[in-house]
Structure 1
Amino acid sequence: MLSNLKIYMLALTLAMLVAGPAMAQVQPDLAKTLLRELNGSMHFSTRAYQGTSLIGQQEFKQSKIKTNNNVWQLQLNEEPVINHPEARDITANIVLTHGEASSTAIGVSFNFGNWNRDNYVMVPASIYNGNRYHSIGDGYAPVYTKDMYYNPKVPLTISNNPRLAIEKGKASVIELQTSNAATPAMCFFSPAKKEGFIILTDQQSKWGNNGMTIAENAAQDSCTFSISAPAVRKLAPGFGDFHPSGDKAPDWKEGDELALKFRIYVFAAKDIPDLLTRFMGVRKAFTGPNHPRNILPMSELTRLATNICSNNFVTVPAGSYYLPENNKDFQLGWVSGMMNSYPMLALNNAKERQRVAAELDFVVNKLQGKSGYFYGGITADGELRLDKMSPDFSEPQAMVRKNADALLWLMKHMMLFKAQGYGNMIKPEWENAAKRLAAAFAHTWKEHGEFGQYIAPETGEIAVYNSTAGAIATAGLAIASDYFKQSEWLQIAKESANFYYSRDVVKQGLTGGDCGDISMDANSESAFGFMESLMALYNYTGDKSWLDKAKVEAALCSTWALSYDPVFPANSQIGKLQCHMAGAVWASIQNKHAAPGICCASGDYLFKLFRATGDVKYADLIRDIQHAQAEAVNIPPGHITTNNLVGSTMERIQPSDAEGKGSVGNFINTRNSWTETDGMLMALELPGIYVQTDKKEITVFDHVEAKLISDKGKQMLIEVKNPTSFDADVAVFAEKAAQAQKPLGYTAFVKWPKFAIKAGQTSRLLIGADGSIIAQ
């Protein structure tokens, strides 16, 4: 399969590059001027296929292609984008005015001369830095080679994903459908020219999903970005492998026509962060605003999900804990071990409080190694579970990500105990375990200048270096520094954040490697996790330079979230439910699917960034994520998703054909604790309604509608409507704009008042200048 891919990549590259930038083509004048800044040109063509093999390509040199058998007509329409002189909207209407054409697609190609392999290439949720990295394996979660262990110089290594060639002197082609991307977009940044390029397009035409292709020649001095209608890929990318796509170009008859629409941006950019932030600002500009559905109030989601979690508390030979998986084994962090206990503690009742305490006892007594680092899990019978390791090594290893989660959530649990008035329940063993873990991270940083990807819990040695697996460790260290009054840990938190920001975000435009089932692949969890850390540093220092970094990181996070509501097959489960899935979060460049939420977090740091900056796009992103999560919740009889427990969710929202065409839009009939956990956390740590009283601004995150009715002096009268089928208790957070400039603590939600509103009803809420609820 791989050898066939190599042959095909070379053939397609030659076919697409045969028309060089110097050839006379149909060129809209304004777009031509923009593209010239990047040594680029635009070309329209018809493409004939035999199966999925490209057998012929005809370029529109003017507005018509005429052969012995048919006549094609091209009509171009170019429009400037209001307030964006660097952007153009282009529509190419192509009609077969005479004859017939079998198995033919149409396309537009952007050929860039004077290309440089150092250009940063990004397709949201699919390609980061061209995926131009060492690759291993030919399938899901490949085994690491021996030379990757205990090697400080191990290169960033990914699974077998679509990618540009890491080898010099080699041609390469990336073939995708629009459904392989969180936004139908292709982007690049040129360090030499200090310019950025973004092209946005529609998901599909009447022929199905569009294709997006990036082809680089062997000399790596020319590259073509192409959109086709429809997608005709030789091979479709899977979970770390490829399979025959089964794509088919349509047969045309006389009079058939198609409109290919897209928007291009060419703009000044000094670095990769400039490209990322520009992308976040325009990612919905072409597909238009999405329309989240209000279907499940946060309070009802909490009731359903905490009921599941409560019924999944077990006492087994290993100890007592809430199950983080569908079996009785325990996995720390990552998939909600010692995370799902946090919302249970927040219920603030004696039964669950005692259970949470029992789980913390179990974790610190059974899982911590001699070095202070924790093992990644344990079986119900008490046998330690090991994370990825080479069979050539006998030393047990654990994920750095799991240890970072352990530090963060140990600290958050203890802070919540105190905020609820139960600080006396905090045991010295919990605090000592947290201290030892923070000290282990500090030692690793001072010794190696990074946290690594895998660690040996007994010795504390880094077993696998590189990646952004320690993204959340910075947040844990910042919290621990404040809690235990250890200033050195805050300094290490700052140093590590600056290191990962510079090495991974600024220089590579990606974060990755913190999941146990991928290599060092770019992924969403590390992006959101690092966002957590940057906002933690702002929280504890008040230094707004961390906000500036957080804005860039939020932009990187946005590349992982669906920015529009994809069209799913009408007969698929998602299609039948008519779910609005904008906000579903893609997993990684290996695991090519979206999921209901961030693993495992509320994303409250996005709300905190919105609060600190007033920039609504951060509120918009977290609102989308929360509403997409609700769309995946199993609520019989009318909203069946998992076919499992009422209130359950599962991790697969599948817009792509990475698992085969039959999987598109279909849920898997199971449940995942982590997706239920992030739902509970969003319901807990995000306000339902946020109000700035002096600015009279209202932002809604819950599944209700709210609008200002009147401004009674210093008071606000707000009308709230609950359009759902469930009664709601809506958390209200109101403050003045000046108060929003003070960082928001981790347990602020404990003090948010609740506003009760029945299903289908409209009520009024009076808010005082101090943020209190005065009357209902």
Structure 2
Amino acid sequence: MEAISDQLLGDHISLALRIARFQGNRPLSQAQVDLAQLPGSLEIAGSHWICSAAFDSVDGGLEGYLRFCLDAGSLPDGNVAVDLTFHTWSQAHYLLMPAAAYNGNRYRAVRKRYPPFLHADDIIGAAMPVTISDVPRLNIADGPSQIHLRSGDLATPAVAVFDPDRQRGCLILFEPMTAYGTTGVRFGESPDRTRATLSIEAPAVRATRYTMVNPDHPSDDRGAAFAAGDRVALRLRLFLFDCPAIPDLFGFFFRHRQDMAGDTRLVHGLPWSAAYRIIEDKYNRTQYNDRYHYYRLTPKTETSVYGDWQAGWCGGGLNALALAYDGGEISQQRAKRTMDSIFGYLQNQHGYIQPSMHEGKPFGDDFDYKEAAGVLLVRKNGDILLFAARFIALLRQRGEPVPETWIAGLGYLADAFVRLWQRYGQFGQFVDIEAETILQGGTASGSVVPGGLILAWKLLEKPVYRDIAEASARCYFKQHVCQGLINGGPGEILQSPDSESASNLLESYVTLYEVTGDRQWLPMAEATAHHCASWVVSYNFIFPSQSVFGRLGMRTLGSVYANVQNKHAAPGFCTLSGAAWLRLARATGDRRYLDLIRETAHNITQYLSREDRPIASWNQGRPLPPGWMNERVNMSDWEGKDNIGGVFFGSCWSEISCLLTYAEIPGIWFLTDTGEAMALDHVNVTVMDDGQAWQLAVHNPTRFRSTVKLLAEPRSAFAQPWEIAATDHCRLIDLAPDEHLVLRIAKAITAPYF
């Protein structure tokens, strides 16, 4: 072990094995042995342990098995751990805990009840410091500084560190569970911040656990009862690598995020088209506001002020595009009426779209003073800008007339963002849409705006739209991607790191490339994708067998964590299909982007409650009605251990992401020159070479009728970006349950692109 120990010491890291004894969740004593002394023994509370380690070289890193064997005695309440200590630590180091901590969440934090909101006495304004809610974090000031979590709090069980002085990176991956329960992960700093220790422990025993905006809730964790003969093995992978900058840390993480993921095979269930029809039916039965003419956020039975009209974010206006793609005649009409309303009475004199409305009364986005109707979360109008532009492009592509009010309204909204940028050099997070001033600045809340503006430039041919789209996109890259903090998208987490801002920024960079054809945007898109991937669950979490998700066999692979405050994964990206990943794969030739979106898109339909498979909520077991999809994919115990693998009774934005999946992502992507077939929908595909043509054998293995979209093109076509609504031209393959069909597709001449 001396050679491994010396290798770690070259990066000023030491490794030790530790055993701890608890009373409840309070540590009583511990014993530790350094790596160089292994194999060795430890004594604690009358128990005798034999400790050993074995390492192998794997893919440029080390795979380690750290073993603990209780040789004699017992330990009724204990855990075992591996400690990695960084001996040249500083507050300048960057700490990544995927979906849980970005830069260690070392920012100004304020304690407020949910949903938190900042006001004048909180030090706000265009130049305010980054301000997050009360979440697990490293201390920005003096005093204790640690983050202590369970593996279920992370999208990937991993921790990564960037040392800016030595330009080195460290990545540790570990298994999420052992036979003794959920693995714990703790990262703590010394009082003088010159050392830090990462602990991987089995099982997790925390003194406190995080609940909504409260990191100090008493924990109900307990140690394991170990008896003579018991053995525990902690398996981890450790990489030490050159790392010039923070984006390189995320890039390295992206390459290795599934190294220990286990079985990532996809299991067919509900086809996309079948899910689309169930949700469409639910929307038209329960979710159209006949009086004010728009699709609501939630069914009419849900009486919340925020469930009626709410621009963007959780779906207002975004649902219209989703239903315009593949909806029936009623859906098409209502989607267009929704757009009429957006660019009618919902648009103010400055071009902004009203944030919220209920029964004709406008409301704003300040949760403490919702009657302040002019307070707007910037990303909400950014979402409308992007989706409205796509809706207009879709109709033009179909040869349908586009109302002049839509064209004018899109321009008015784009102009509002232009004025904001010209005045402040940023879009901010919250603005006053009457005074046109930034209330709370900074963040990447407007990260979708560059994508919306570049589409507005394409549709309206106004040069300033492109100028500001490109300037703001570069600014977001420098200030957010390069700093490892992409934040500000959700309206109820203050300025905490989140996945939505990252997803929206990826959407912008890919759209900039596709509209302009300028490949300068692709490296920015890839760096953003690597960051965004840290929020995407890379493995299948094992839910408690008695939980709702455990009984249904839910697979978490591809689900997407929300943010560091709301510690749940969700069925998809809020509120997107994720098609930007597929388009990025096509533009770069990197198959990993395709694999990631395939996991998210394929698995999203399992979260849909249906007549034949209702999903029970934790509200007295009340089942979600058919067509409802809840946002909760709870792997964390932030809402209590009993609610791991459970959902509340609620219809959520994830339904729109499911609609958009069918609308914007081809179920089969086939390359007519190379014969490669990539199935993303719930369908099996086999390719046979038939001389001058390909035979594509398609099988629907599910119990449901399926209409699969086939997008066929030669690889040589990759030199040109897809048009905005590429999937609207797809060939439709109608399949009965268990039907096999063979298609004959002419071969294209092979002409390598990459």
- TM bucket by the smaller chain? over 0.9
Match of 1:90 in 2: 64
Partner residue of 1:529? 504
Residue 278 and residue 355 in structure 1: after superposition, are their counterparts in 2 closer, same or farther (change >3 A)?
A: same
238-247 or 144-153: bigger deviation: 144-153
Mapped to 2, the partners of 1:358 and 1:462 lie a distance apart of 31
State the alpha-carbon separation in 2 of the partners of residues 289 and 613 from structure 1: 27
Contact conserved, 1:728 with 1:757, CA < 8 A, in 2? Answer: yes
Query: What is the aligned counterpart of 1:76 among 47, 50, 53?
Result: 53
Change (3 A) 1:644 1:510: same
Residue 240 of structure 2 aligns to a residue in which SS? strand
Residue 666 (structure 2) pairs with residue 687 (structure 1): yes
User: 1:149, CA displacement in angstroms?
Assistant: 6.6
**1:303/1:234 Cα in 2 relative to 1: closer, same or farther (>3 Å)?**
same
Which secondary structure does the structure 1 equivalent of 2:323 belong to? Answer: helix
Tell me how far apart the structure 1 counterparts of residues 590 and 160 of structure 2 sit (CA, whole Å): 23
**Conserved? CA contact 1:184–1:200, under 8 Å:** yes
- 2:335 aligned with 1:362: no
Give 1:617 deviation, angstroms: 1.1
Q: How does 1:18-417 map to 2 (within 5 A)?
A: 27=1, 29-30=3-4, 32-61=5-34, 62=37, 63-66=40-43, 69-81=46-58, 84-85=59-60, 87-148=61-122, 151-167=125-141, 169-242=142-215, 243-317=217-291, 319-326=292-299, 327=302, 329-347=308-326, 349-380=328-359, 382-388=360-366, 396-417=374-395
Per the alignment, residue 752 of structure 1 pairs with 730
CA contact (8 A) 2:31 2:43 kept: no
**Within 5 Å, which residues of 2 pair with 1:645-724?**
645-672=625-652, 674-708=653-687, 710-724=688-702
Distance 1:34 1:150, change over 3 A: same
How far did residue 355 of structure 1 move?
Answer: 1.8
Q: Secondary structure at the match of 2:734?
A: strand
Q: Secondary structure at the match of 2:241?
A: strand
Residue 408 of structure 2 corresponds to which residue in structure 1?
Answer: 432
Closer/same/farther in 2, CA of residues 72 and 485 from structure 1, 3 Å limit = same
Matches within 5 A, 1:483-632: 483-507=459-483, 509-632=484-607
Partner Cα separation in structure 2 for residue 586 and residue 438 of structure 1: 30
Which letter does structure 1 place at the counterpart of 2:578? G
Q: TM-score by structure 1 length?
A: 0.92
**Equivalent pair of 1:727/1:757 in contact (CA under 8 Å):** yes
1:703-759 per-residue CA deviation (whole Å, 9 max, x = no partner) reads 111122x22234211222221111211111111111012111211111110112221
- State the secondary structure of the residue aligned to 1:60: strand
Query: Cα RMSD (Å) of the superposition?
Result: 1.8
Residue 770 of structure 1, CA deviation: 5.4
Query: Using the alignment, how far apart are the partners of 2:672 and 2:482 within structure 1?
Result: 37
Partners of 1:403 and 1:377 lie apart in 2 by 11
Query: Percent identity, aligned pairs only?
Result: 30
Alignment deviations for residues 135-154 of structure 1 (CA, whole Å, 9 cap, x no partner): 11244322313145762221
| Aligned partners of 1:373 and 1:460 also within 8 Å | no
Aligned-residue offset at 1:417: 1.5
Would the alpha carbon gap of residues 459 and 138 (structure 1) be closer, same or farther in structure 2, given more than 3 Å must change? closer
Cα distance change on mapping 1:760 and 1:163 into 2, 3 Å:
same
User: Could you tell me how far apart the structure 2 residues matched to 1:726 and 1:530 are?
Assistant: 36
Task: After superposing the two structures, state which structure 1 stretch, 183-192 or 693-702, moved more.
Answer: 693-702
Tell me the amino acid that sits aligned with residue 252 of structure 2: R
- 2:227 maps to a residue whose letter is K
The aligned amino acid for 2:719 is: Q
| Cα pair 1:629 1:679 within 8 Å, conserved | yes
Report the Cα offset of residue 449 of structure 1: 0.8
Q: Contact between 1:299 and 1:729, CA under 8 Å: does it hold in 2? A: yes
- 1:471 counterpart (425, 430, 447): 447
Distance 1:495 1:147 in 2: 32
TM-superposition CA deviations, 1:5-42 (whole Å, max 9, x none): xxxxxxxxxxxxxxxxxxxxxx4633x24422321010
Partners of 1:331 and 1:293 in 2: CA distance: 35
Contact 2:343 2:406 in 1 (8 A): yes
1:305–1:648 contact (8 Å) kept in structure 2:
yes
Deviation digits for residues 193-249 of structure 1, max 9, x if unmatched? Answer: 111111111111111101000000111111001100000001111221131120000
Larger mean CA deviation between 334-343 and 632-641 belongs to 632-641
3-state DSSP class of the match of 1:477? helix
Question: Which aligned pairs between 1:763-774 and structure 2 lie closer than 5 A?
Answer: 763-769=741-747
Alpha-carbon distance in 1 for matches of 2:182, 2:645:
14
- Does the Cα contact within 8 Å between 1:401 and 1:514 map onto a contact in 2? yes
TM-score normalised per structure 2: 0.94
Residues in 2 aligned to 1:684 and 1:391: alpha-carbon distance in whole angstroms: 37
5+ residue gaps, structure 2, are: 618-622, 750-754
Give distance in 1, aligned partners of 2:658 and 2:587. Answer: 24
Unaligned runs of 5+ in 1: 1-26, 772-776
- Could you list the per-position Cα deviations for residues 337-368 of structure 1 after superposition, in whole angstroms to 9, with x for gaps in the alignment? 11111122123654333222221222222222
Q: Shift of residue 620 of structure 1?
A: 1.2
Q: Is contact 2:614-2:626 (8 Å) kept?
A: no
Preserved CA contact (<8 Å) 1:146 1:390: no
SS at match of 2:475: helix
CA distance in 2, matches of 1:656, 1:68: 31
Q: Which amino acid aligns with 1:755?
A: I
Task: Report the equivalent of 1:9.
Answer: none
Summarize deviations over 1:645-679 as a string: whole Å, max 9, x none.
3232111110110001110011223322x111110
SS in 2 for 1:105: strand
Paired with 1:462 and 1:139, the residues of 2 have a C-alpha distance of: 24
C-alpha deviation, 1:371, in angstroms:
2.0
Contact 2:326 2:663 in 1 (8 A): no
Q: SS in structure 1 opposite 2:237?
A: strand
- Paired position in structure 2 for 1:10: none
Paired residues, number: 733
* 2:71 partner SS: strand
Relative to structure 1, is the Cα distance of residues 697 and 96 closer, same or farther in structure 2, using a 3 angstrom cutoff?
same
CA change 1:128–1:714 in 2 (3 A) is farther
Asked if the contact 1:107–1:226 (Cα under 8 Å) also holds between the matched residues in 2, the reply is: yes
Write the distance in 1 (CA, Å) between the matches of 2:669 and 2:405. Answer: 38
- The answer to whether the 8 A contact 2:539-2:556 is kept is yes
* AA of the residue aligned to 1:630: T
